[in-house]
Structure 1
Amino acid sequence: MIKSLELVAFKKFAHFQMPMRSLTVLTGLNGSGKSTITQSLLLAHQASLSKAPTVPLTAEPGLDLGEEEDVLHEAATSDHVEINISDGFDHRWTFQVGAGRELPHLYVLNRPAVPPAPFGSSALTYLSAERLGPRTSHQTVAVEDARTAVGEDGRFVAHALAVNAQMQVSAARRHESAGNVITLPAQTEAWLSSVVGPTQIETALVPRTRVVTMHVRPRGSGRWLLPTNTGFGISYTLPVIVAGLLAPKNGLLIVDAPEAHLHASAQASIGAFLATIAGSGVQVVVETHSEHVLNGIRRAVAINKVLPSAEVGLVFFGAEGASFPTMDDQGRLDHWPPLFFDQLDTDLGELTRARRG
């Protein structure tokens, strides 16, 4: 498990170091550095996939660093960028920007001889905030790790469900409402129903094609519907749930904006789900702007006891830099930095003052 991350001259940060836990929640102001953290993890992963002397600036899953000049911190004193990761042992990646060739690559000056798990393997899963909306058909994936791939935008989620129809979900990730039915489709339906309401999912591979069909039966409906006839919440949430249930133990799951297109109560439920996945042995990194996701995690710690509070790491990027609130076993935080999910209090205070004249 990653225990700490250090960045030197990388994008937003001249120098930055942060602890990481089983569940690390990144939140904060727009443009404050949250995405820089996930991009650093994806860059280290990409540089660990081969021994090539360069690494592309744009690659799957989810790596999109723009131009070379965008990678180097504006006040950098050299053309080197460093990413240091500790899992109990220190691992360093060093990249050089430029060096005379106009290619969308960074030069790899140093990489770990043996990258720490799960870098450079299919055990790292990234889900973008820009996931696919409802589709009438879905793609298959023709790679060796097809059984766990959902795609950074969720485009392979129907295929993952279809080819893993008999897979049994580990005990720590099972939803109690599915009873003794522990296969991936049943557990997916149970978790999905806990988020968006009673929902059934049906997938099927179309013979002699690279197409998978998916039908949905939402609450109150007596017939199966195409995803295009249901809400965006199902299509955006399904990849998060399937990726979490499929993620290998000791793997890394990175999810950007799990709350997208979800009602407030559903946002809290997806937070509780991600806490459950983290408690099952998958390291989870969440980038979110939702106080409801945070409160779902707090409930999962305090009430459901799926994850020790010490295994939750909160990182808030505010106007004065990063702060690291801590959580106790009752879900209470030791401090609330300014602008850290305090907008409700601010708005209600102003409304109260307005009513008093």
Structure 2
Amino acid sequence: MISSLRLLNFKAFENQLVEFKSLTLLSGYNSTGKSSVLQALSLLHQSHQQSLLQNTGLLLNGNLVNIGTANDALYENAKEDYVGFELILKNETKGIWHFNYNSLEREANFLESGFNSVDADVYQSSIFNGQLYHLQSERAKVASGILNYQRRELRQIGALGEYTAHFLYTYGGQPIPIAELAHPEAKSINLIDQVEAWMGEISSGLRIQVNAHLDMDLVNLKFSDHVGYGITYVLPIIVAILASNPGALILIEHPETGLHPQAQTKLGKL
């Protein structure tokens, strides 16, 4: 579990320490860097996922997050030409990564490794070796989707929730990993029934049906009632929470968007 993350010369931050608990809420005005904190964790994860982080560098655009160019990553008034992250875990192990910024390659989508100092156990932690879901503030329509490598091989629902339909088709019949999250009135402990039960807390009586058209590699979700934006927005959040293994890291931007305050309270209980 993460104890703290320091951001150095990254986007809006020259030197910012962020401390974490099992549930951490970031609030503040627009454009103050809340999303940048989540992006930093996803950048580290996706770079490690592609076997780049240890010796090569930082992948700025990948399956979890896209932040643009090297120039976009660097703090505007940086006094030194590097972007840095310092991660401390609850067991006091630490990882420090500095990535060099080259002014001649401002438009690059990659930052090369500079100084690294990483304890051996860090890469075995859940942020690198476990599940990580990062749901961005935008959402794709989740009613249907095409089979995709990220969904099948990496158990991802997509940064926009775009693989949610196929995720439910593939894993919906499996028990949720954390039994304590089970809804007491669900039909079973399986993911699809648990998702339906928790979605019913937000929209009473809601039912979800997963329909597959394998000849076209297409899966779509059918809801019992006409649903609004808030329901389709929150569905990937509930799927990510219920599908996560113990120790998984779930990063959610604007989880309350489109939800009635009472529905926000229900989501908070989960």
TM-score (norm. length: structure 2): 0.88
The aligned runs of 1:65-214 (5 Å cut-off) are: 66-87=68-89, 88-98=92-102, 100-101=104-105, 102-111=107-116, 112=118, 115-121=123-129, 123-133=131-141, 135=143, 137-143=144-150, 145-146=152-153, 148-169=155-176, 170-178=178-186, 181-214=188-221
Corresponding residue SS for 1:25 = coil
- 1:237-280, Cα deviation, whole Å (9 max, x unpaired): 1111111111121110101111122112112222222xxxxxxx
Residue 146 of structure 1, CA deviation: 4.2
Q: Distance in 1 between matches of 2:142 and 2:46?
A: 29
Residue 18 of structure 1, CA deviation: 2.1
Corresponding residue SS for 1:39 = helix
**How many pairs does the alignment contain?**
260
1:43 aligns with 2:48: no
1:243 aligns with 2:240: yes
Residue 193 of structure 1, CA deviation: 0.7
Q: 2:259 aligns with which of 252, 259, 262?
A: 262
Q: Distance in 2 between matches of 1:143 and 1:153?
A: 13
Corresponding residue SS for 2:2 = coil
The aligned runs of 1:259-298 (5 Å cut-off) are: 259-273=256-270
Q: Distance in 2 between matches of 1:165 and 1:69?
A: 42
Residue 115 of structure 1, CA deviation: 2.2
Q: Which structure ranks higher in relative contact order (CA pairs < 8 Å, sequence separation ≥ 6)?
A: 1
Q: 1:216 aligns with which of 223, 226, 246?
A: 223
Q: Distance in 2 between matches of 1:144 and 1:215?
A: 20
Q: Distance in 2 between matches of 1:56 and 1:171?
A: 35
Task: Provide the identity percentage.
Answer: 29
Against the structure 1 CA distance between its residues 203 and 164, is the aligned structure 2 distance closer, same or farther, given a 3 Å change threshold? same
Tell me, yes or no, if the aligned pair for 2:145 and 2:220 is still in contact at 8 Å: yes
Tell me, yes or no, if the aligned pair for 1:202 and 1:214 is still in contact at 8 Å: yes
Paired amino acid for 2:110: H
Q: Distance in 1 between matches of 2:79 and 2:202?
A: 48
Q: Distance in 1 between matches of 2:139 and 2:168?
A: 17
Corresponding residue SS for 2:27 = strand
Tell me, yes or no, if the aligned pair for 2:48 and 2:128 is still in contact at 8 Å: yes
Q: Distance in 1 between matches of 2:64 and 2:229?
A: 22
Corresponding residue SS for 1:161 = helix
Tell me, yes or no, if the aligned pair for 1:72 and 1:97 is still in contact at 8 Å: yes
Tell me, yes or no, if the aligned pair for 1:83 and 1:93 is still in contact at 8 Å: yes
Tell me, yes or no, if the aligned pair for 1:196 and 1:233 is still in contact at 8 Å: no
Residue 79 of structure 1, CA deviation: 0.4
Against the structure 1 CA distance between its residues 73 and 143, is the aligned structure 2 distance closer, same or farther, given a 3 Å change threshold? closer
Against the structure 1 CA distance between its residues 165 and 133, is the aligned structure 2 distance closer, same or farther, given a 3 Å change threshold? closer
Q: Distance in 1 between matches of 2:131 and 2:218?
A: 25
Paired amino acid for 2:71: E
CA RMSD of aligned residues (A): 2.1
Against the structure 1 CA distance between its residues 144 and 238, is the aligned structure 2 distance closer, same or farther, given a 3 Å change threshold? closer
Tell me, yes or no, if the aligned pair for 2:198 and 2:238 is still in contact at 8 Å: yes
Larger radius of gyration, structure 1 or 2?
Answer: 1
Unaligned stretches of 5+ in structure 1? 219-228, 274-357
Q: Distance in 1 between matches of 2:15 and 2:163?
A: 37
Q: Distance in 1 between matches of 2:135 and 2:153?
A: 16
Tell me, yes or no, if the aligned pair for 1:138 and 1:155 is still in contact at 8 Å: yes
Unaligned stretches of 5+ in structure 2? none
Residue 71 of structure 1, CA deviation: 1.9
Q: Distance in 1 between matches of 2:130 and 2:24?
A: 20
